[in-house]
């Protein structure tokens, strides 16, 4: 999912209060520019749902192959197995990068190292470390966009079920406003799915603070207790001899209906008239808001993105250049911006990368870089273990 079809205003809104930072980057390189770019290097795209944009092949290898081919065509050299250990600076001007075995001199460096997610791909937070050594502030870092683990074990009995249009909210006095909507999938030890992946960025700091977090899930497409009660009454009138689980299954998949009956203290095989009023009321409450206690996650091991990064106040949004070190640029996930599922984070990476790559800045006078190695140029973009975007 490369990007999506939202307008720039709607796109920025999905990133929250920091979203307007990306206005200049999106203006310079929006989703139309991105799809045109890929079309120009042989990658056709489409939006089958009118919203999310994919390569028509629906394969990430198509993107990688096209980018590699274009780099070769342009004569761009990709240097691997050269871990950058230091960003070189002289008089607040970037002068290059240093690895364990070599020094690369250049008046411009773009840091595109990504976050800490999926360390198996090489993510170790080098971009944060290197930037902080030059005076940049790094915000709190948390894993985001990942599955969540729950205390309740009944979820494993529902792991084949995907529920559409689920509403999640946090059952904490100081976090009542935290809500999300979308599709949810039960797993062997918790929950995942688009709504969970998006909401995880809000949950991880709370888990660190409180140890566990109770979520309330509306699994019935927004129906409230009164509407659920009326729905069940109509089903009972229509079929009074049906088992209770059969009535509940008109709202939810059978496995979940079974578990919610048990949670309410109801024998799922019983008929409606055999069940106490208190138990029926409890079932209606559970159908309106099902509690799940989130106890943890797999950290950055399974995190698709990172929440946090280089402080935005220290980056010029019109150029993506550092406000501290001239000639130093940042793009993508290494900065403190992260969005939901749906092509948001990739579009931000491409847009910020395109803007940073223009190397906009006020010309510097009187800067001399002595003892240049044989490797030099007007710009040098380094990668860490192929984590560059």
Domains of the chain by start residue, with CATH: 3-142+305-382 (3.50.50.60), 147-297 (1.10.8.50)
Rounded mean pLDDT, 219-245: 95
Q: Residue 361's pLDDT is what?
A: 66
Q: 157: which DSSP letter? A: G
Instruction: Read off the pLDDT of residues 313-328 as tens digits, 9 standing for 90 and up.
Output: 999 999 999 999 999 9
pLDDT bracket for residue 309 (50, 70, 90): very high
Cβ–Cβ < 8 Å for 19, 9: no
Any idea which residue has 């008089």 for tokens?
A: 91
With b for 16 or more beta-carbon neighbours within 10 A and e for fewer, the 29-64 pattern comes to bbbebbbeebeeeebebebeeeebbbbeeeeeebbe
Q: Residue 378's pLDDT is what?
A: 40
pLDDT bracket for residue 360 (50, 70, 90): confident
**Strand 45-46, strand 52-55: pairing:** antiparallel
Question: Which of 169-178, 223-232, 260-269, 343-352 has the weakest average pLDDT?
Answer: 169-178
Q: 364: which DSSP letter? A: P
pLDDT bracket for residue 173 (50, 70, 90): confident
Q: What value does the mean pLDDT of the chain take?
A: 90
Based on the number of CB atoms within 10 Å of its own CB, is 385 exposed (0-12), middle (13-18) or buried (19 or more)? middle
pLDDT at 387 over 90: no
Query: Rounded CA gap, 220 and 199, in Å?
Result: 19
Question: Which of 197-211, 245-259, 349-363 has the weakest average pLDDT?
Answer: 349-363
């Amino acid at each position: 999912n490369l990007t999506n079809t939202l307008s720039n205003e709607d796109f920025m809104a999905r990133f929250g209060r920091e979203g307007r930072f990306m206005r200049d980057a999106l203006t310079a390189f929006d989703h139309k520019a991105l799809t045109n770019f890929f079309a120009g290097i042989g990658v056709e795209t489409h939006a089958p749902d009118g919203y999310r944009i994919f390569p028509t092949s629906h394969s990430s290898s198509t993107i990688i192959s096209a980018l590699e081919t274009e780099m070769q065509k342009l004569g761009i050299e990709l240097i691997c197995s050269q871990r950058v250990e230091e960003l070189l600076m002289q008089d607040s001007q970037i002068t290059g990068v240093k690895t364990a075995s070599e020094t690369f001199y250049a008046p411009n460096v773009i840091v595109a190292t990504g976050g800490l997610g999926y360390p198996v791909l090489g993510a170790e937070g080098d971009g944060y470390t290197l930037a902080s050594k030059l005076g940049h502030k790094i915000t709190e870092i948390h894993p985001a966009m990942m599955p969540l683990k729950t205390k309740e074990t009944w979820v494993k009995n529902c792991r084949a079920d995907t529920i559409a249009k689920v509403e999640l909210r946090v059952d904490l006095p100081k976090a009542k406003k935290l809500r999300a909507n979308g599709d949810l999938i039960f797993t062997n030890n918790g929950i995942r799915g688009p709504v969970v992946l998006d909401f995880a960025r809000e949950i991880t700091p709370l888990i660190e603070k409180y140890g566990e977090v109770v979520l309330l899930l509306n699994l019935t497409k927004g129906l409230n207790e009164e509407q659920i009660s009326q729905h069940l009454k109509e089903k009972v009138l229509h079929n009074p001899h049906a088992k209770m689980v059969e009535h509940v299954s008109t709202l939810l998949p059978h496995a979940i209906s079974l578990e919610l009956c048990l949670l309410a203290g109801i024998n799922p095989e019983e008929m409606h008239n055999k069940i106490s009023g208190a138990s029926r009321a409890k079932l209606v409450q559970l159908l309106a808001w099902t509690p799940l206690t989130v106890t943890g996650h797999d950290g950055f091991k399974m995190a698709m993105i990172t929440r946090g990064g280089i402080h935005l106040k220290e980056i010029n949004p019109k150029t993506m250049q550092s406000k501290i070190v001239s000639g130093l640029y940042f793009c993508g996930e290494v900065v403190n911006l992260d969005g939901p599922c749906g092509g948001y984070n990739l579009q931000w990476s491409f847009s910020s990368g395109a803007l940073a790559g223009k190397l906009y800045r006020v010309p510097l006078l009187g800067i001399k870089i002595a003892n240049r190695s044989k490797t030099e140029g007007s710009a040098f973009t380094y990668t860490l273990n192929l984590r560059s975007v």
